[in-house]
Every structure is written in structure tokens, then in C-alpha cells.
Amino acid sequence: MNKRISISAVSFAVATAMSSTVIADEKNSLEHIQIISHYDKLRTEAGSATLLSEEELGKFESDDIHRILANVPGVNIRQEDGYGLRPNIGFRGVTPERSKKITIMEDGVLIGPAPYSAPAAYYFPLTTRMTAVEVFKGPAAIKHGPQTVAGALNLVTRQIPEQFAGGIDVASGSDGYQKFHGHVGSQQGDVGFLVEGVVLSADGFKDIDNLDKDSGFEKHDLLTKVNYRWQSGEVEHELTGKLSYSDEDSNETYLGLSDADFAKAAYRRYAASQPDNMDTKHTQFMLTHNMEYQDLRLTSRLYRNDYERAWLKLNSLSNTQVSLSSILDNPQQYDRLYSVITGKQDSLLSGDTSHYLNMGTNDREYFSHGLQVDGSYQLAVFGLAHQLAFGVRYHEDEIERKHFEESYAMEQGIASHRGLDKVFTTLDTENSKAWSVYLEDKVTFEELTLGLGVRGEFIDSRYQNNKKANDWQEKTTRIWLPGVSGFYKMSDSAGFLFGVHQGFTPTTPKQPEQVTKIEKSTNYEFGGRFNDGVTQFEIVSFFNDYSNLLESCSQSSCGVAEQLEEQFSAGAVDVYGLEAQFAQTYPMSTQLDIPYSFIYTLTESEFKSDITSDFVQWGIVKEGDNLPYLPKHQFTFNVGLKAALWELTMAVKYVSSMDEIAGTLANNPNLALAGEKTDSTTIVDLAASYNLEKYGKLYFTVDNVFDEISIVSRRPYGARPGKPRQFVVGYKYQF
């Protein structure tokens, strides 16, 4: 048996042809997505781009994007709920909080609730129904915005099949885990359709004090597509309509535990979190037109996203200025307040100060809509091959906040509503209208492929305090972001890449223009790539030079009511590191292969000057201090056994500890956790499958095989664990 490369835990691929997205078959260019995955020759594109294929996503059948992205170098993550319901993802050292510093797309279209006005991604598509996940970093991400400092994440949905086909996927597991997933579609002549649905739920792994209520979630997701194809002369056309709906009901909380309580019972939840609940609904409509004429391709997309969410959770205790984080950081000092949170003491005692539970509901409505056109054209000029990519997009998005608090009493360990009226705390609207354009030319000079590109972002935004008619602000942002990249082919199996581009993060409409400067950086990368048909290896170094690093206070990252949605500046900061990935398949015999891969990320950071900040993750910072929630070392090792009818895979994932605060404690009672670190983690996952051939496939997965318990975060209020060991048994059938 000849040695060969199979699809490894990380498939190296890059989107070319169309700028915004990627998909596989030229005959079925439904979304003008083209994946180029070379197994027998060297890829010559510059920039860092990684594809996780449908086969790879199916190995562990994971619903958690955090676990999936462990197979991509240069990704930094802060876990929160254990299930990845509201992911915290960063690339190359940017803050992972609510994935707000990366551009998130579904089928090439911005999918965050309000990517310009409020980029925190409280909505994230259900990864179970995705057929590919793509990550673009460095100059490879210049086509995607508005967040261009770190990169872009694109999630690819299922295509309409060329002939009648479908499938089911049902699974059940520990902690009440249930999955029901089905899809069916066909292409009949010029017309095709697809219908896909998912129901995903779990009872959760945390036990809520004094209450018979689960801590889990239930999600529903429905996707439909219809297309029509026709040809006018030599011009091929395809029109596709996409409509999707999803909702979630989860008994999730921001409230964690004191370190002492975590050590005793890591999966406990305090009584004060009993009422906590997240209720969301998301709808999307998209109309896509593809046109091909010789070497010209154009894709036009008209889209609309609507998202509603209401999260009821503990905000604070009444009659005290002490934050929940400070209480749980030092429960002995604040014994009375701690006792109310844990339900050991009632809110009101005769002759004493009452400490009721201020339960806040962050009720928000979002919309985003727009029209974007992306194109590519190949031509030869003066004997040189040029590949042009270009695009323009008009986008508008908005967030309307209707936050209110209600008073709950703690009585005999039960949190109950006091029957008082709501008190509205935030009533405002932020809106952004943005034009963006990009142009990139990749030209080949013998062994050198050089890419020159530029992106423009032109934003008009408005903030309105709906409590005060005269409290409003309008501002304008205009910026051009150039980039250059290259790949030099040294042989048929090796070459090196390089690139530099300017990164940008827009400020939100509420931030005063004269106070908060935009975030800008100059980003460099240099590396090499090797592929001899047996071994794939890539190593890339990166350096992000921030002239002004921004961070904002959100409920998930700092939880200080007076600072919510406020942005803070750290001035100049450097982030640099190394990304490496290796993949190979070793044939044990004619019937058995051993595929294995290794993914490693080294990340360093340092503030370039002393600062004193009220932002809870910074405090008093000295020059040379590290950014918080940024692990220095991360690696994932995948190894498997693969036969004709069965496969066994093990993944070992290591993340080093992370600082909870960059500096030391400032003169602010809300600034806790100085000197604290999260735990380093080593998680082992297992997956096994057996192919029943025409009768489908059985699979079995174990997440966190050794049931490791560790503190993955203390933000915003106390220590929280990752997911414990979970067993899942499932069955898939394709027809």
C-alpha cells in the first residue's frame, strides 16, 4: 500500500476564487465557495488560512465551536458555560470576549447580531449543521471586515444536493444530552431545495442549590434553501433563497463560585442564580445570485438578520457598593453578603439592612441587513498571470437595549420575585451604516506570487439615549487598510510566505470620538510550508503592533454596572507568537492506517507603557505586563486508527494558565483577582465510529475522558468549570 495523506485533524486549505466564502464543487458552485485542498502538490497562496472539512467535523460530532477550533493554530479561547453556547474566541491574542474582535460569517455574510454597532457575538450559529469551518488570519483576512486586526471565521452551511439525498443524526448522552438532526434535498432540473432541522438539548452539569431545576438548554434550528439555475448565452446564473430560524432557552448564569466552594463542589450553583435564564430567537433571510462568464465570477447577496434576546441574571445585591466578584473573591470579609447569595441567610432580617437580589434582564433587539457583491477575474498582462478579487458591501445594523432590574428576595434558600415594578436601567439605541470595499491583485512572477490589496471602511453611526431626547451622538469613520503578501516557491514541495497588513477595529456609536480613538495595528507574518504528498507541515510567526489597543466592559468580561459598554484604551501593545501544524498518515498495513497531527500555538504579549485603568482586567499595569486571558502555550495532538469500516480517534488538548488581570489592584473595590490565574488544562477526548455500510453508522464519543476539573475563568462573578466527562452514543444514516 502506498503512503498517502488523508484528511487530517487540520486540513490545510484556503479560499481563492470568491472572497467571502468557500465551497467545494465547481459544478455545484451554489454559494461560489471553492475549497482548494492539495494532497499531492504545494499550496502557493500567501497568508494563513485553515479549513476544517465535514469529515473532520464529524469525527467528534462536537456542538461546541471551542472544541472544534482547538484544531486551528493561533486561536485563543476563554471558556464560559462548558457547552459553547456563547463562544469567546480570539485570534492571535485579541481579546476573546464574546468573539467581538473577529469577523464572524455564515456563508460569507456577517452573522453577528450587530457587527458594527455592538460586535459582541451573543448569537452564534449551531455548528452541528455546518459542513465546513474556515479560519482566515493575517493578510488572508483582508477581504473580510469590519474586524481586521485578527481575522475572520466563516461557517459553511449544507448545499442543495445534486440528486435526491438526505440523512438523520440522532444521539443521546450523559447529563440529559439529546440531538435530533435531519436534512433532505434534491435538484430536479433547474430547481432545487433543501430542508434541514436540528433539536439540541441537555439538562446541564451544574446543580442549583435548593431547587429542582436543570441548568441546561434547548435549541431549535431550521434551515430551508431553494435555488433556480439558468443560462443566457455563455453566462451561467444561479439564484438561491435561504431562510433560517433558531431559538434557545437556557438556564445559564454569570454567577460562579468562590475558590473554596469550587474546590469542594465545582459543579454547584448558588441559590441566587435560581431564576437565571436566557431566551433568544434568530431569523435570517438571504438571496444569492451567482454569475459566471468565462474567467469572471460575480456573487451578489442580499441579506437580513433579526435577533432578540432576554437574559435574566443576578446583577448585584441592594444596599451595597461591593461587586459580586469582590464578594466571591473574599467571602469571609463579606460574610453577610455571601450568605445571602448562597441562600444561607434571608435577604431581610428584623432591624438589619436588607440585601435583596437585583435581578437584571438585558432585553435587546438587533437587526442587520445589507447587499454585498464579490467578484474574481483572471487575466494575463505583459505575460504575467493576475488574479483579481474585488467586492463592495452596504451594511446597516442596530441594537436597541431595554434593560431593566427586578427585586427578588432570598427566603429560606429560595429566590422569589417581590412583586415590585420593573426599574429600567438602560434604554438606548445604537445604529451604524457602513460601506466597505476591497481590491486584491495576486500576480505571479515565475516562482513568486505577490498579493497587493486594500480594504476601505466608511462608517456613519448614531447613538441615542432613549431616556433623554437630547443625549445623542453622531460620528463618522473613514479608513483605508492596505496589505501586501507573498509566497515564494523554492521547490515542488516547499516554499515560504510573508505578509504585512493594517488591522482596524471600529469604536461603537456610543463612544465619544474625541475620547476614544479607533483601534489600529500593523500586523506582520512570516513562515514556511512543506508538502511532499506524504507529510504536510506549516509554521508561521506573527507580530501584531498595536498603536492603540481597545477593550470594552461587557457583562461577561467585567460586570461593573457603571462601566457597561464603555471602552478603555491601553495605548501601544505588542502581541507576537508562533503557529505550527503538522499532519501525516502512516499505513500500518493494507487494512489499517494511523492518521496523526499536531497543532501548536505560542503567544506572547506586552504593554508598551505604564497605565492605571479602572477596567477590571487591567488595573495598575507596568510596561512589559501581559494581556489577561491569553495562554502562552496551546497544543492539540490527534492520533487515530482507521480501517475500512471503523475508526478510533484520540485528541489531547493542552492550554496553559492565563492571568485574570494584567496588572495589580487599583484603588477600586470592583478590581479583584489581582495575581490570580486560571488553571492550566489537559483535556483528552475520544471518538469511535463503526460503518454499517448501507445501514448507516454508529458513533461513540467521550469528552474529557479523565474528568478533569479546572477553573477556566473567574469572570465576571466567580470561578467556573469546564464541562465534565460526557458520554454520547449516536447513529447517522445517509440516503
Question: For 205-229, what is each residue's pLDDT tens digit?
Answer: 999 999 989 999 999 999 999 999 9
Beta bridge partners of 636: 599, 653
User: Is pLDDT of 331 > 80?
Assistant: yes
- Give the pLDDT band of residue 635 (cuts 50, 70, 90): very high
Question: Closest by alpha carbon to 54, among 169, 204, 199?
Answer: 169
Residue 676: per-residue pLDDT: 84
Split at pLDDT 50, 70, 90, the class of 38 is: very low
Other C-beta atoms lying within 10 Å of the C-beta of residue 260: 11
Q: What pLDDT is stored for residue 371 in this prediction?
A: 98
Q: What is the reported pLDDT for 667?
A: 60
Query: Across residues 587-613, what is the average pLDDT?
Result: 94
pLDDT surpassing 90 at residue 616 = no
* DSSP-derived 3-state class of residue 331: coil
Map out the domains of the chain as residue ranges: 11-734
Q: Are 530 and 494 in contact (CB under 8 A)?
A: yes
The per-residue pLDDT for 517 is 78
The pLDDT value recorded for residue 17 is 30
Residues near 402 by Cβ (< 8 Å), separated by ≥ 6? 363, 364, 365, 424, 426, 427
pLDDT at site 41: 62
Cell numbers representing residue 296 in the block: 469572471
Residue 360 has pLDDT above 90, yes or no: yes
Distance CA 378, CA 297 (A): 10
Rounded CA separation 652/637 (Å): 5
Residue type present at position 545: D
Mean pLDDT calculated for residue range 679-700: 96
DSSP letter at 677 equals: B
The span from the CA of 142 to the CA of 151, in Å, is: 8
pLDDT: is 672 or 486 the higher one? 486
We find that the CATH architecture of domain 11-734 is Beta Barrel (2.40)
Nearest CA among 428, 419, 592 for reference residue 508: 428
Highest mean pLDDT among 91-100, 190-199, 707-716: 190-199
**How much is the average pLDDT of 112-126?**
93
More confident site: 734 or 672: 734
Question: In angstroms, what CA-CA distances link 64 with 55, 61, 106?
Answer: 16, 9, 16
What pairing do the DSSP bridges indicate for beta strands 633-642 and 277-293?
unpaired
pLDDT of residue 518: 83
The per-residue pLDDT for 490 is 94
pLDDT at 11: 36
User: Average pLDDT over the chain, rounded to whole?
Assistant: 90
**pLDDT above 70 for 694:** yes
- Neighbour tally for 557: CB within 10 Å: 25
HSE, side-chain direction, 13 A CA sphere, residue 477: 31
pLDDT of 39 reads 44
Q: Are 195 and 223 in contact (CB under 8 A)?
A: yes
In single-letter form, the type of residue at position 141 comes to A
The pLDDT of residue 366 is 98
Provide the percentage of residues in the chain whose pLDDT is more than 90.
78
What's the pLDDT band for 20 if we cut at 50, 70, 90?
very low
Overall average pLDDT of the 436-461 stretch: 94
pLDDT for residue 312 is more than 70: yes
- In Å, how far are 35, 318, 473, 672 from 564, measured between CA atoms? 41, 18, 18, 17
pLDDT for residue 48: 83
pLDDT of residue 24: 37
Range name among 240-254, 478-492, 549-563 with the lowest pLDDT average: 549-563
The three-class DSSP label of residue 664 is strand
- Mean pLDDT for 337-366 is 90
Confidence of residue 138 (pLDDT cuts 50, 70, 90): confident
DSSP assigned state of 335: H
Q: What is the mean pLDDT of residues 420-442?
A: 96
Residue 579 near residue 10, CB atoms below 8 Å = no
Percent of the chain with pLDDT strictly greater than 70: 92
**pLDDT above 60 for 19:** no
CB 107 within 8 A of CB 398: no
Q: Per residue in 508-527, pLDDT tens?
A: 999 887 666 788 999 999 99
Residue 351 has pLDDT above 80, yes or no: no
Mean pLDDT of the region 463-489: 94
